[in-house]
Amino acid sequence: MSAELHRLFPEGLKHAEAERGKPRHEPPLRFVPTKAPESEQGDDITEKSITVELTDDTTLKVTPYTFSDVESFLTLQKRHQYILDQQDANKRWNKMEPIMGAADAIVSTILATDPDPREITKRKKQVELRDGLLRKMSAIISKAFNLYQQMCSAALRAEWDDIVAEHCFSIGWINEDDETSETFRGQSWLTLAECKRLHLLTVCDQDAAERHTIYMNVTLKKPQRVAVKPFFKRVKELDDLAPSLPCLKDQEDCPPEVERRNISMTPFAMCGLLMRNVSVQIEDEYNCLHPTVPTNPKKLVEQLTKIETKLGSVVVPANDRRKSESQPDESRSKKRAKTENSSRKTNQKRIPRKDQVPTRAEKGCKLCAEYGGAKDTHQTSVCKKWLPGGKPHPEWRGGKTTANINVHQGEHVNQLMAQQAEFQKTILKQMSKISAKKRKKKRSRQRYSDSDSSDSD
């Protein structure tokens, strides 16, 4: 995936959000890219990078590739082709090929035993030209094979060497005339492409293109958290890799009625895929504005983006909002740090105010400490309980009482308390009399029952 799409994709996107159920067959390319496995601490598995010369003035550092998924493997092969294009390897080889062919044709028309010395000289020059061009062309092809080998890690490099040895430098293969060849194929652009395809088959299946087609047309769906524009870019990125996938049509025993599937989508098919994956509201809005089906994907994406912005259909789940609120990103933390620093600076510039309210240590009433009361709640000058000398303050709610009497009691309260005590005494006396009568009755019953039992004996 490109760096721009990594930026546009929401964090933590999973396969289940972009797929209609689990795929029955593992697709070679998935909408959500697979994360590369991180090496544990202490494991030195990385290889030294190599420097590749692109032109006379520019170079490129390449780190040997370690397999993670099929998409990254295809990226490796595309990068190899990009380097060859920058070096103009194909162009230089294509320029030499017709010249070498013409020289070879001249050599074949002149016999080595020709008596004319001019013809012999001409033939000798053409032989030298042909052999020189052949060496240069072979060096270009050999350099392309070696470059691919150096761009792979140790494990992939061993597989590549076995494939090249078997396909390019072995005899007994079937040629175009369905005959067993007694010479090896050698290294050429055709054999290089075939070796890269065979190397790709070591990490994916032969029907990878067919599985990719089913995944894109059946399993894939647009995640709710992804807008239309990044969804289209990711689909276009996967579609560009489709021609590089192995296909059943490349097998020798493939039936003729099987169609080739390792091809990119047509613009009309891409529009159909986009319309299938947008919401019903966006589709209805588009159909109200356009009477015909779309045929241009770029224009369709622009119009769907406008409708999506109007409807606000990109939904962020509540869990992601909570995570973003509970775990702020670097920008939020930086903003918070800036605000804290600015607030500190402003607080340092402000003049501190005098505390008008006395602190707890300054409070303390000497009168309440001497005659009784909450001394720590107020000062002596504002005391409303005592006057100097121990007399009760007139504003105190129990001011008529002395210091030895409870401030909440008065004469009428004492009278009520005495009445209550006498009432309780009378009730207790009555209850004791009732209990005494019950005891007497119980004893008399017991005596009567005892006498009856003795008479019966």
- Cβ proximity of 52 and 60 under 8 Å: yes
Give whole-number Cα distances, 279 to 31, 47, 230, 302, 308, in Å: 18, 47, 16, 16, 9
pTM of the predicted model, to two decimals? 0.63
Q: What is the pLDDT of residues 241-280, one digit of tens each?
A: 999 999 999 888 888 899 999 999 999 999 999 999 999 9
Burial class (CB in 10 A: 0-12, 13-18, 19+), 284: exposed
Query: What pLDDT was estimated at residue 1?
Result: 64
- Cβ neighbours of residue 24 closer than 8 Å, sequence gap 6 or more: none
153: three-class secondary structure by DSSP: coil
State which H helix or E strand residue 276 sits in.
Answer: helix 267-277
Per DSSP, the three-state class of 69 is: coil
Between CA 215 and CA 262 the distance in angstroms is 13
Are the CB atoms for 174 and 167 separated by under 8 Å? no
Long-range contacts of 247-251 (CB under 8 A, 24+ apart): 247/206, 247/207, 247/208, 247/209, 247/210, 248/206, 248/207, 248/209, 248/210, 250/197, 250/206, 251/206
The residue assigned the tokens 């175009």 is 176
On whether the CB atoms of residues 209 and 200 are closer than 8 A, the answer is no
Instruction: Print burial letters for 336-373: b (CB count within 10 Å at least 16), e (below 16).
Output: eeeeeeeeeeeeeeeeeeeeeeeeeeeeebebbeebeb
| pLDDT number for residue 317 | 53
**In a 3-state reduction of DSSP, which class is residue 16?**
helix
- What are 180's strand-pairing partners? 174
- In angstroms, the CA 32 to CA 231 distance is 11
Residue 11, both tokens: 């964090």
Q: Which residues of 180-197 are buried (b: 16+ CB within 10 A; e: fewer)?
A: eeeeebebeeebbebbbb
Weakly modelled stretches of the chain, pLDDT under 70? 1-4, 36-46, 313-363, 397-414, 442-457
Check if the beta carbon of residue 59 is closer than 8 Å to that of residue 195.
no
Q: Give the end-to-end CA distance of the chain in Å, rounded to a whole number.
A: 115
Side-chain half-sphere CA neighbours of 11 within 13 A: 8
CA–CA dist 297, 291 (Å, integer): 16
Residue 254 CA, chain-centre distance (Å), reads 40
According to the model, what pLDDT value does residue 435 have? 81
Q: Which residues contact 275 (CB under 8 A, 6 or more apart)?
A: 283, 286, 293, 294, 300
